[in-house]
Structure 1
Amino acid sequence: MAEGDNSQEKTEEPTPKRLQKAREDGQIPRSKELSTSLVLIVGALSLWVFGGIIFNGAKKIFTSNFTIERELLFDDKQMVIHLTSAALEAILAISPVMFALVLAAILGPLALGGWMFSGKSLLPKLSRISPLSGFKRMFGLKSLVELLKSWAKVLVIAACTILLFFSLENSILYLNQEPDRQAIVHAVDLVMLGAIVLAISTLLISIIDVPFQIYDFTKKMKMSLQEIKDEHKETEGKPEVKQRIRRLQYEMSQRRMMEDVQGADVVITNPTHYAVALKYHGEGMEAPVLVAKGVDEVALKIREIAKAHQVPIIESPALARSVYTYTRIGKEIPEGLYVAIAQVLAYVYQLNQYFKGEGPRPKQPVFPVPPNLRA
């Protein structure tokens, strides 16, 4: 199947790399309804909490500007001073509410999707002005959901308004029977209560919108099996290349191993299927070290190199299999094989003495292999 084939059904969950790339492109789940609800709720609550500060600030501005002396009205400099003072007073009065609204506008989007800044989302895209893409957006599932949300917002707010009105009907109707000052304060409290309730009612839409946005985003991010395979190839490399690299690494390690056979002290064989090469010298080496091992063709190659470089070859099937199985190349032999390998090295030393004409030909002993180390 050709790469990039979009005919496959996208049924697989998105990979972490796909999600990271989408985030870098500015594609994350967002809920405008949740952000709007938080701003409305914070705005209504901040007006309730800081309403006294706003009232006192407005009172101070009106008092200051309605008590200006007549002579100062014709002084341009004094008018500028009064205007500046009134502007500063207004800014100080509304600053707590504005700060709360700005904070809600920043933190609202973070509630779903987290913090994200991507310049790619600002770049122009032809798909945004494509008529075909426009029709898909107009008649797609998302457009239908947006339409339903708009109607739902109208219905929810209208229903909450009607319920609120009937619950506060007596308080509203009897405002005209209260003293002026008390009626004004009471009316402001009713208005603020209504604003808070209606703002909170918008959360009903957000409760529906947030799961839908998560579902819609996950659906867009889903991948086909071919896309997952292609991504794996890009990340890990093509299997053919990886296999060739492993083969080259194996060949290099084999060459190094065969070079180490030349300096081995003894090669123990099966005699045909297994071959292990050991090296030991007393300086800084607590036990003999396995420098090479192999089976079949590799074992044959080890024996050929050993013969070419006059490395003693000892036949001991059980010991050869045991060393091959329980020792890694470059590591010391297991402690349980110390006695057997010591006898091998002693036998090799006696053979060398014999070939030099300095002793009788030794008889090869049976090298003991513990039962727990038999292979």
Structure 2
Amino acid sequence: MSETDNEDRTEAPSEKRLREARERGDSPRSRELANVAVLGCATLALKVTGPHIGGASRDWMRNALQFEPGLIGQPDRLPAYAAKQLLSLMLPVTPLLAAALVGCLLAPAAMGSLRFSGQALKTDLTRLSPMAGIKRMYGKESLVEFARSVLRLLLIGGIAALVIKGSLPRLMDLPSQSLEGAVSNGVDMVLGVFLAVVVSMGLLAALDVPYQRFAWGARLKMTKQELRDEAKESDGNPEVKARMRHAAREMANRRMMDAVPTADVIVTNPTHYAVALKYEAGAMRAPKVVAKGVDEMALRIRELGSQNKVALVEAPPLARALYRQCKVDEEIPVKLYAAVAQVLTYIFQLKKWHPSRGPMPQLVQVDVGADGAPDLVGDNA
């Protein structure tokens, strides 16, 4: 990554970029925190289980140095005997090893990077690039690591030297003590040095953890163009979304036009609005809108209705009310029941009419009021 690229990366990483980085195994890590966690847990475990480990080691040494007559002339028993001795030596130090293992897990858990990533196990040939290796050797990270190593050496070495210097009188007095007393005092002094080292490493970790989080976030920073591209990917390309909406409208229009021939009546404005209604007694609670449209779509609905001999009724207020208040494939609202019933009654009477039965039924014009109630105008009003 060139300096120009770094200068352009001025935006904080998005949640998606952070999530993808963690999935690749790229999470903030602090070597100092890992060291202090492992050494600190091991030191505490040694402080607690030290007497037990000392006694068990003494017993093991005594048993190991005893003569085992059963091995004479039977060399095939030697591997099993050696394995048994090794196992008896490992059992006392198991708590110490378990504490160190817990320390290995605490550090990444504290940094939020305790996760398994299969992508991190994949082969990456770019890591074998000589130029990439040279950049790592002489780059900014190398200088930071060098400064951190010098600080680690000075701080840990200095604190350890002070502790050892303060323990010199006790150290010089060890030869005059009994074996068990000398071992106990020696272990206490070693633990004191370990605790001092843990404290010094904790100071380094307190400085290193914020830096590692900052460096990780800076490495994942994005350019403004990357943020725009990611937003397009998340929300969808506007052009693609527009095409999808257009395709959805076309499909909905085709479904509407396929349903027009099945309608019982088409209520018109007469030119600007057209709403096709269908009602099946016993199968529907109320009439249902199967198609609706304005202007050009209204014209197509009227033409298709005429071709399929669907009755057209001019009722401008009702047509506007149906168009505004109803959705396709949904029943009409209750407040329009009476008005639509008048229209359907006229249509059903017209279908059953025959000249021999008398004069042709007259259309009762329906005027929908402001509250949706019909105002009837005509012969039967």
TM-score band w.r.t. shorter chain: 0.7 to 0.9
- Please give the per-residue CA displacement for 1:293-334, whole angstroms capped at 9, x wherever unaligned: 111110111111122222222222222122111111000011
Residue pair 1:72, 1:79 contacting (<8 A) in 2 also = no
Sequence identity percentage: 36
Q: Measure how far apart 1:89 and its partner are.
A: 2.3
SS at match of 1:371: coil
Structure 1 residue 130 and structure 2 residue 130: aligned? yes
Q: 1:262 to 1:24 in 2, by over 3 A?
A: same
| Greater relative CO (CA pairs within 8 A, separation 6+) | 1
What TM-score, normalized by structure 1, do the two folds share?
A: 0.83
Segment drifting more, 85-94 vs 37-46: 85-94
Go from structure 1 to structure 2 and tell me whether the alpha carbon gap of 1:207 and 1:230 turns closer, same or farther (over 3 Å shift): same
* Aligned ranges 1:101-180 → 2 under 5 Å: 101-112=100-111, 113-131=113-131, 133-161=132-160, 164=163, 172=170, 175=173, 179-180=177-178
Q: How does 1:244-259 map to 2 (within 5 A)?
A: 244-259=243-258
Q: Which residue is 1:214 aligned to? A: 213
Of 172-181 and 280-289, the range deviating more from structure 2: 172-181
Contact 2:276 2:291 in 1 (8 A): yes
Q: How high is the TM-score relative to the length of structure 2?
A: 0.82
Cα deviation for residue 176 of structure 1 reads 5.7
Q: The residue matched to 1:278 in structure 2 has which SS?
A: strand
Find the aligned partners of 1:218 and 1:7 in 2 and give their Cα distance: 13
Kept in 2: contact 1:337–1:370 (CA 8 A):
no
Deviation at 1:260, TM superposition (A): 0.9
One-letter amino acid of the structure 1 residue matched with residue 130 of structure 2: S
Instruction: Give the secondary structure class of the aligned counterpart of 2:318.
Output: helix
Alignment correspondent of 1:95: 94
Counterparts of 1:124 and 1:346, CA distance in 2: 78
Separation of aligned partners in 2, 1:81 and 1:189: 36
Match of 1:29?
28
When residues 80 and 136 of structure 1 are mapped into structure 2, their CA distance, relative to the original with a 3 A threshold, is closer
Q: What is the rounded CA distance, in whole Å, between the counterparts of 2:7 and 2:141 in structure 1?
A: 22
Q: Report if the CA contact (8 A) 1:272-1:299 is conserved.
A: yes
Tell me the secondary structure at the aligned position of residue 28 of structure 1: coil
Q: Which amino acid aligns with 1:64?
A: N
* Number of residues of Structure 1 aligned to a counterpart in Structure 2: 367
Relative to structure 1, the CA distance from residue 39 to residue 360 in structure 2 (aligned partners, 3 Å threshold; closer, same or farther) is same
Once the two structures are overlaid, the 10-residue window that deviates more, 274-283 or 233-242, is 233-242
> Is the deviation greater in 33-42 or in 144-153?
144-153
Q: Shift in Å at residue 122 of structure 1?
A: 4.5
**Residues 25 and 121 in structure 1, CA contact (< 8 A), matched pair in contact too:** no
- The separation in 2 between residues aligned to 1:20 and 1:164, in whole angstroms, is 45
Structure 2 CA distance, aligned partners of 1:171 and 1:335?
Answer: 101
Further displaced range: 95-104 or 117-126:
117-126
- Superposed CA offset, 1:46-76 (max 9, x none): 211222232122211332344538x889767
Task: Give how far 1:274 is off.
Answer: 1.4
After superposition, residues 254-273 of structure 1 pair within 5 angstroms as 254-273=253-272
Distance 1:28 1:80, change over 3 A: closer
- Counterpart in 2 of 1:48? 47
* Structure 1 residue 269, shift from structure 2 partner: 1.6
State the AA in 2 paired with 1:117: S
Q: Distance in 2 between matches of 1:30 and 1:42?
A: 19
- 1:276: how far off? 0.8
User: For the residues of structure 1 that align with 2:172 and 2:369, how far apart are their CA atoms?
Assistant: 104
- 2:167 and 2:189 in contact (8 A); partners too: no
- 1:60 equivalenced with 2:59 (yes/no): yes
Contact 1:290 1:327 in 2 (8 A): yes
| Cross-structure match for 2:292 | 293
User: Residues 67 and 303 from structure 1, CA distance in 2 versus in 1: closer, same or farther, beyond 3 angstroms?
Assistant: closer
The separation in 2 between residues aligned to 1:274 and 1:11, in whole angstroms, is: 55
- SS of 2:292's equivalent in the other structure is strand
Partner residue of 2:334? Answer: 335
- Unaligned 5+ segments in structure 2 are 374-381
Of 260-269 and 190-199, deviating more is: 190-199
The structure-2 alpha-carbon separation of the partners of 1:76 and 1:348, relative to structure 1 and needing over 3 Å to count, comes to closer
Deviates more, 1:155-164 or 1:108-117: 155-164
- Shift of residue 93, structure 1, vs aligned partner: 2.3
Match of 1:187 in 2: 186
Deviation digits for residues 226-248 of structure 1 (CA, Å, limit 9, x no counterpart): 33444455566654444333323
